[in-house]
Amino acid sequence: MDERAVVKDGVVVGRIDVVRDQSASAAMARKLDEVSLVDTLTGLSNRRRFEEECEREHRRAQRVWDSYAVARVDVDGMGAVNEALGREKGDALLRLLGEALRSSRRQYDVVARWGNDDFVLLLPCVDHAAVKSVLARAATHMVSAAKDAGYVITLRVGVAVWRPPSSDSAADVLGRAAAALDAAKRREPGAILVDLGGTNIKSDLEHAADEPPERIE
């Protein structure tokens, strides 16, 4: 309970007691924090929450000598959808794609909306083959959901895998996934580029660009 002065014309004329509901304030604070971690359009985790989950997974992987991957999934042509059909239709499509991605994930994968037109996945306990399998299933769900709603979409994906004893940080892995996505965007629709790590990430991506792209159908 707080005591506050009652002031009139600059003179203290009395005092009142102010009772604070601490439990209500704490509940409100928790609610605001929860909302700040959720993308309001899709209901998925937002970028802040995803970065926190990446840090947590990175510590786990280091501790138990395990691997994990971060995948950035870009939806081609969202600008054209918004221009042709309006922002409301575009937002509805993003919600649909977000739900399709969420429904395709493994129980312990984390799915988030990263930016306007792209999503991101955190995939614990994976190798290259598992990454391809998870992403193929996710892409199939997304493309099929869009098709059922009357849209034709294509995806481009950039992936970064962390494997021990790499010295990369979680932020480094996120940066590598972004670089892989940038490289995939220079390829044909459906391309996926996977950065498995190594001593020279740039040359790894350049080498991948010289080969036929892996495709997600």
Q: pLDDT value at position 15?
A: 59
Residue 102 CA to residue 97 CA, distance in Å, equals 9
d(CA 80, CA 82): 5
pLDDT computed for residue 25 by the predictor: 59
Number of domains in the chain: 2
- 54 and 16 in a single domain? The answer is no
Same domain for 24 and 68?
Answer: no
CATH for 90? 3.30.70.270
> Do residues 140 and 54 both lie within one domain?
yes
Pair (96, 3) in one structural domain:
no
**Same-domain check for residues 108 and 210:** yes
Q: Which tokens in the block code for residue 196? A: 């498995």
In the numeric block, which tokens belong to residue 38? 């959720």
According to DSSP, the residues that pair with 24 across neighbouring strands are none
Cα–Cα distances in Å, from 45 out to 102, 112, 120?
10, 5, 10
Instruction: Report the pLDDT value the prediction gives residue 45, as an integer from 0 to 100.
Output: 95
Residue 90 identity (one-letter amino acid) = G
Tell me, yes or no, whether 31 and 105 share the same domain: no
Amino acid identity of 30?
R
- Domain of 5? 1-35
* 14 and 75 part of one domain: no
**CB neighbours (10 Å) of residue 94?**
22
pLDDT score for 1: 57
Residues 70 and 54 in one domain: yes
Distance CA 193, CA 177 (A): 9
| The pLDDT value given to residue 203 | 33
Q: Are residue 190 and residue 113 in the same domain, yes or no?
A: yes
Q: CB within 8 A of 201, min separation 6: which ones?
A: 176, 179, 195
What is the structure's pLDDT at 84? 81
Q: Which residues contact 97 (CB under 8 A, 6 or more apart)?
A: 75, 119, 142, 145, 146, 153
Same domain? 21 vs 68:
no
Q: What is the mean pLDDT of each run of 10 residues along the chain (217 residues)?
A: 54 56 58 71 95 98 97 89 85 95 94 94 93 91 93 93 96 97 92 76 41 42
pTM, rounded to two decimals: 0.76
**94 plus 201 within the same structural domain:** yes
The H or E element containing residue 176 is: helix 170-185
The pLDDT, as a whole number, for residue 125 is 95
Give the model's pLDDT for residue 80: 81
What is the structure's pLDDT at 198? 61
Do 135 and 190 belong together in one domain?
yes
